[in-house]
Structure 1
């Protein structure tokens, strides 16, 4: 049995949530998880349909994208995942989907504005969107540069990956992350829902303003931080 079976099982279960939550079809999308002590990442193999995926198919790589364990090629997005792990040291899981509404915003090249309390429950900012990748970046190392695009927009906007656990890659789609693979998928579900809500809101009233700061703060901080009181605690 693999010595990384605990991580492979976690990542397998997270990947199976993608079709269950209708975040992607056929082979689209992937989830990974990291064991930082071991320095390894578990990720979905490239091009394997979800209905055929097994725990043993999950591939183990190191942070230099070298194969550690597995009989299949890892996801083509692996370099994006590992770059995020290297630069966002607090995260434990990454999810990439092709969910319809989030992709629509990414294809439009627009951030998702914070229009209401559902959005504010999860982040105080708009969902950021990266710049469109240059031809040079595309031909140089596409998946690595995808990660660089994410890092660039977070640096430019001075965003914290602990507070903003999601991003839209222009012309491509969403990436989310969290404390583990399961939380990364949870954030993808949330992102798709707020993307849908924002789209519908702006269809009803294209002049809808962003939610006022007092409501953002109330909803975000009642769920996050030392004074949070939402839910049942630990």
Structure 2
């Protein structure tokens, strides 16, 4: 049986909170960007696609440092948000959510884009011939048909956010109770003599949570595939 300390539970709760908020706020943007990439042709599409997937190939520390430059207290975006709205990201749990959202965004967009691209465009065309405008076609035809893929993408992004470490620790550091997620807590425990056993407990929790999220994502992917093939 796992022997988790109050600090461990705090890290677990913070990880779940950060991952859920990161996924929820990224989802509308993910759907919009995925639809744009799947349905539109425009100049700079390849560049936009590259920028979206850049966090997957960049070292996470680089992404975290860029977030710190942009959203830190002295960064252009961070200073504006702090002065005008009192929103602070650097060294706060909100910054951890932002970093997790950025790192998981490509996986979300990829899953949703595939789901939208697999929809028969004749169905959207039929709705248009019946007088529906573009937004209504998206709302009543595209979105419902892509919903299993959208959920799968959201769950996959949630799982990725749970495991985020490099960008988060660079952007918001490793502050117990404020920015210390499961990954950061495990890292801290491995640096403490005799902390290996406690770290293993958190490793097991991380594996269980991530595996559960991946199973749910796969289930929705299967549903999306069955819907595409009319099963």
TM-score by length of 2: 0.25
Higher helix share: 2
Larger C-alpha radius of gyration, 1 or 2? 2
Higher strand share: 1
- Structure showing greater relative contact order (alpha-carbon pairs closer than 8 Å, 6 or more residues apart): 2
TM-score by length of 1: 0.25
